[in-house]
Structure 1
Amino acid sequence: MPFNTALESFTESTYENLKPLILEQDIPTLQKHIRDGKLSYENLTKFYLYRIRKFDRENDLSLNSVIALNPNVIEEAKQKDIDLKNKMLKHHIFGMPILLKDNINTSAMSTTAGAVALKDNKTDDAFIVQRLKDRGAVILGKANLSEWAYFFCGDCPSGYSAIGGQTLNPYGRKIIDTGGSSSGSGVAVSSNFCVAAVGSETSGSILSPSSQNSIVGLKPTIGLLSRSGIVPISSTLDTPGPMTKNVTDNAIMLEAMFGYDANDFKSIQLKRSLAFDEGFKDFSVKGKRFGTFKRLMEDSLYVRAIEDLKLKGAIIVEIEEEKVELPDFLRLLNLDMKNDLPVYLSASADKSLMVKSVQDVIEFNKKDSINTMPYGQKLFEGIVADNATDEEFDAIKNTLKTNGKLFFDTPTKAHNLDGFLSINNYHAGFAAVAEYPAITVPMGYNEKGAPRGLTFISEPLSEMELLGWAYDYEQATKKRVAPKNYN
């Protein structure tokens, strides 16, 4: 509603004329259109606002992926047009409207994690948001998510939050799962409601909605991107990551957010800069040895993807999955969140919030359960009930990391592998505890029209290689098809 007056001059014919310049285009193409005078940052921003109003709200096509919009976004975009004339272009991301998962702090809007208890959580910018702004990105708004990053109710659909309601998949409203917990980010990117979005992952929360919505999602090495100012689940496993329509944009987003954060104990201080926007293209799949899982060979899309990679010169090694367990994985999340949420609430949240712990949120929700927790809060209750000594907690973390690394390192050494090929978020748990990065890229659609992603996994700090392999596969196959009702 606050944008209706500003959009009065942005007519349906304006929208139709801009569609071929914007829909499904990558960031370098958008920037070229702007340099050539065919497009402006203001009109790019208004285009997305128009689409959100047209397709995301209350109508027969609504997807409910956007939870809040930055009230200053049009003015900020206009300023980018002025800055461009003054030769102040800083980065590929300059002027690009970006959505943030609503567990990532930004000063223009509340950060709710989808929870009523945090609806008035006014904050400063998270570290990665400040990085984006420093490079000229425009924060368009917040994307809905599975409440508390899907570590809350236990028996609720992915894509649901008490603040944002139920997000729906553009490839099959109310039929195909959105994936979670970065559900709104995945749906909004796929539906061309923004240039790109930022998600977060503890175990599969970027990979799942990215593959379910036919986009590219990167779960980076933990510590490559700062977690400061992000509502946590687990300081051991959490990481933000870019979600985009193509690999090029993913690389640009990753590079724009990267930077050492002294306030994040896992932050990595690299000796080299990450010029991802071009350098990743030097890494092809030719001659690379990929482990494929025999159990997945019944999936025809996976088999086809493997054949496509072979045509590009990849060497495929079929392997059986290592028989290792991930004991007490849930307890790791319980014990971390019990500690980490109070730290966020005291250091990064609005000082006026009445909740200071998981127990406080539970009690808050009991006052109006239908509106705050219609599916219950079983996982939060499990957090409060769980206790461990420091020694027990360290043992849980060490066992999980050891087993996760065994899952990948054993076949890597036996077969001299460069990486692994999986589907969607099937091996996200092992990648999470091993702290291995992963990227998923569209590989087609099943017989019911549900998108599927080919997921590359490799060793820590192999983002350049992962992006290069994903780009090589993407360019050879071009499997992404935009959702047909939203063109």
Structure 2
Amino acid sequence: MKKILALLVVLMVFSCGGKNVVKNEEPLLWQPYNDSVEIAANAEHEKARMRYKLIQSKVLDKNEVFRPLYNEVSKMSPDEYEALKPLILEQNIFSIRKSIEDNRLGYEQLVRFYLYRIYKYELDNSTTLNTVIALNEDVVELARKLDEEKRVGRLPEIRHPIFGMPILLKDNINTKGMKTTAGSIALMDNEVDDSFIVKRLKENGALILGKVNLSEWAYYLCSECPVGYSAVGGQTLNPYGRKVFETGGSSSGSGTAVAANYAVAAVGTETSGSILSPSSQNSVVGLKPTIGLLSRSGIVPISSTLDTPGPMTKNVVDNGILLSAMLGYDTFDAKSVDEDFPGILSAGLSPESFSEMRLGAISSLMETDSIYKNTVEALRAEGAEIIEFTPPEVEMSGFLSLLNIDMRKDLPAYLKRYSDQEKVKIISIADAVAFNKEDSLVRIPYGQALFEGVLEDTTTDEGLEEIKARLENSGRAFFDSAMNEHKLHAVLSINNYHAGYAAVAKYPALAVPMGYKPSGEPISLTFIGKPFTEAQLLRMGRAYEMKFPVRQMPKGYE
């Protein structure tokens, strides 16, 4: 009954234009519901980690998230929403900008359109993806000011393409005006200033729309727990199959939100597979950059050795634009690179000729995955030179210790520098473990085996440096044996299958939708290249995307 009532409220909101259908000053937009039936339905799921213990968050009240902008969103009528669809839905940034320049679309309308979709689907318990967990209360007003400046001719003459585009952020990225929780109840009061990449986005004119859910602590809390789960946001769900397909992790909310067209684009983060996996599972384009290309300052860490933010978008054109908007040298990040990287912004407009591509195809994947094999053969037919090879076996032991020791040092450093210790009571992993044990049913329903492993790891500083060097050599040997011999531009993989090798090698990787399995589950082709070849990867990805436009919108979110 509660579920039906909540659905009726949502329908009333979007059928009454600007009328506030609830007389109370604080309208009831959402009600928690009994998710036990859904949990029971997944009890026998073939993937053990999809046998959920809960769907909705036990601590997040969606009314608090969605009330502040309710009156603004309700000003958009269903007719206006439908009229704007052809101008916005599934369009790339250049197309949207053209509509704005031609006065067919305004910045405020663009923001309202995405908010309308978020309210429409996220407040309905039958369609919610548990993706958006915070909204920027100033975003409509900021967009309105851009429209006014455009009207009087005060907009900057030279504007980055990201200017005025609504962007969602993974909730481990520091953002002023919104809490940065990493999905943990321990950080629910973590009020911070903007991270370096958010400052860059704002300097280039992007509008921060809100924050999205993630696998708690970037999926470095519990072992074999569901991807996309956090105590703050609940269980993120995949729009291509809610409770049927995994969302991928840990940038689960970034992937699902882009797939559902909740924003122009989103920013995720990756340590090993956390952009590639959710991008692949949600049929969007995701780029894990070379370590050092983008700043990590102001991002809740796992590993200062391997962490990086990256763009997640509906197409390769937007991916290059968003990546470009975050570039910049950061003196506070020891890995940050002070160099220019030409061609990233324009990569989507300059697709690589297939005849110029030399690509490595992994023999075992050619034998075991028909979608991959057919795609590789299609690329060969278009003129790409394909070299099939078997990567060497390399030593990857110590990977977990690298993450353990890095996090044991890097998390306290983040908390000391950014968090307000009067509001955030933890200063270490040990504190977080103790905090979680105080209310384990709510804070750690799937346990915290990985956090406990961080405390138990006895690797020395000398041992850590040896592990880092050995793993980097191993990762590079895995790809370089073929790349150097055959002068390859990239190695072709699937989803995040070889993300660990790319992570320790510090190599960039681009996932582009490759199709759908017979079940309807998305699958991606992943281009892995040498350091700082992002522009070339994007050009190749754009050529592939244009020739084989396989991405489809998830049914029910059209």
User: Which amino acid counterpart does residue 299 of structure 1 have in structure 2?
Assistant: D
Structure-2 residue corresponding to 1:354: 425
Structure-1 residue corresponding to 2:499: 428
Structure-2 residue corresponding to 1:184: 253
In structure 1, what is the Cα distance between the partners aligned to 2:258 and 2:76? 22
Structure-1 residue corresponding to 2:489: 418
Deviations 1:175-214 (CA, angstroms, capped at 9, x unpaired): 0000000000000001000000000000000000001000
Deviations 1:307-341 (CA, angstroms, capped at 9, x unpaired): 22123321011111211131110110001000000
User: Which amino acid counterpart does residue 428 of structure 1 have in structure 2?
Assistant: A
| 1:36-435 paired onto structure 2 within 5 Å | 36-85=102-151, 86-88=154-156, 90-270=159-339, 272-279=340-347, 281=350, 283-297=352-366, 298-352=368-422, 353-435=424-506
- Is 1:7–2:73 an aligned residue pair? yes
Please tell me whether the aligned partners of residues 351 and 543 of structure 2 are also in contact (alpha carbons under 8 angstroms).
no
User: Which amino acid counterpart does residue 217 of structure 2 have in structure 1?
Assistant: W
Please tell me whether the aligned partners of residues 391 and 481 of structure 2 are also in contact (alpha carbons under 8 angstroms).
no
Q: Which runs of 5+ in 2 are unaligned?
A: 1-66
In structure 1, what is the Cα distance between the partners aligned to 2:275 and 2:533? 18
User: Which amino acid counterpart does residue 447 of structure 2 have in structure 1?
Assistant: G
In structure 2, what is the Cα distance between the partners aligned to 1:348 and 1:224? 22
In structure 2, what is the Cα distance between the partners aligned to 1:254 and 1:413? 27
Please tell me whether the aligned partners of residues 251 and 467 of structure 1 are also in contact (alpha carbons under 8 angstroms).
yes
Structure-2 residue corresponding to 1:479: 550
SS at match of 2:73: coil
SS at match of 1:286: helix
In structure 2, what is the Cα distance between the partners aligned to 1:482 and 1:5? 29
SS at match of 2:355: coil
In structure 1, what is the Cα distance between the partners aligned to 2:351 and 2:496? 26
User: Which amino acid counterpart does residue 247 of structure 1 have in structure 2?
Assistant: V
- Given the alignment, which residue of 92, 97, 106 partners 1:31? 97
Deviations 1:414-460 (CA, angstroms, capped at 9, x unpaired): 32222100000000000000000000000100010000000000100
SS at match of 1:398: helix
In structure 2, what is the Cα distance between the partners aligned to 1:441 and 1:314? 17
User: Which amino acid counterpart does residue 433 of structure 1 have in structure 2?
Assistant: V
SS at match of 2:492: strand
| TM-score, length of structure 1 as denominator length | 0.98
In structure 2, what is the Cα distance between the partners aligned to 1:278 and 1:445? 29
Identity of aligned residues (%): 56
In structure 1, what is the Cα distance between the partners aligned to 2:407 and 2:492? 31
Please tell me whether the aligned partners of residues 68 and 142 of structure 1 are also in contact (alpha carbons under 8 angstroms).
yes
Deviations 1:241-265 (CA, angstroms, capped at 9, x unpaired): 0000000000000000000001000
In structure 2, what is the Cα distance between the partners aligned to 1:182 and 1:409? 28
Question: How many residues in Structure 1 have an aligned counterpart in Structure 2?
Answer: 486
Shift of 1:378: 0.6
Tell me whether 192-201 or 53-62 shows the greater mean CA deviation.
53-62
- Cα RMSD between the aligned structures? 1.2
In structure 1, what is the Cα distance between the partners aligned to 2:347 and 2:277? 27
Shift of 1:273: 4.5
SS at match of 2:87: helix
Q: Which runs of 5+ in 1 are unaligned?
A: none
Shift of 1:146: 0.3
Please tell me whether the aligned partners of residues 57 and 63 of structure 1 are also in contact (alpha carbons under 8 angstroms).
no
Deviations 1:71-123 (CA, angstroms, capped at 9, x unpaired): 11111111222233313262100110000000000002000000000000000
Please tell me whether the aligned partners of residues 308 and 477 of structure 1 are also in contact (alpha carbons under 8 angstroms).
no
In structure 2, what is the Cα distance between the partners aligned to 1:234 and 1:99? 23
Please tell me whether the aligned partners of residues 208 and 425 of structure 1 are also in contact (alpha carbons under 8 angstroms).
yes
- Given the alignment, which residue of 498, 510, 527 partners 1:456? 527
Please tell me whether the aligned partners of residues 180 and 188 of structure 2 are also in contact (alpha carbons under 8 angstroms).
yes
In structure 1, what is the Cα distance between the partners aligned to 2:89 and 2:118? 13
Determine which structure has greater relative contact order: mean sequence separation of CA pairs < 8 Å that are 6+ residues apart, divided by chain length: 1
Structure-1 residue corresponding to 2:51: none
Shift of 1:351: 3.4
| TM-score, length of structure 2 as denominator length | 0.86
Shift of 1:56: 1.9
Tell me whether 292-301 or 422-431 shows the greater mean CA deviation.
292-301
In structure 1, what is the Cα distance between the partners aligned to 2:524 and 2:97? 28
In structure 2, what is the Cα distance between the partners aligned to 1:30 and 1:151? 37
Shift of 1:14: 1.1
In structure 1, what is the Cα distance between the partners aligned to 2:255 and 2:284? 7
Shift of 1:279: 4.4
In structure 1, what is the Cα distance between the partners aligned to 2:370 and 2:145? 49
In our comparison, the structure showing a higher alpha carbon Rg is 2
In structure 1, what is the Cα distance between the partners aligned to 2:149 and 2:378? 44
Shift of 1:275: 4.6
SS at match of 2:192: coil
User: Which amino acid counterpart does residue 145 of structure 2 have in structure 1?
Assistant: Q
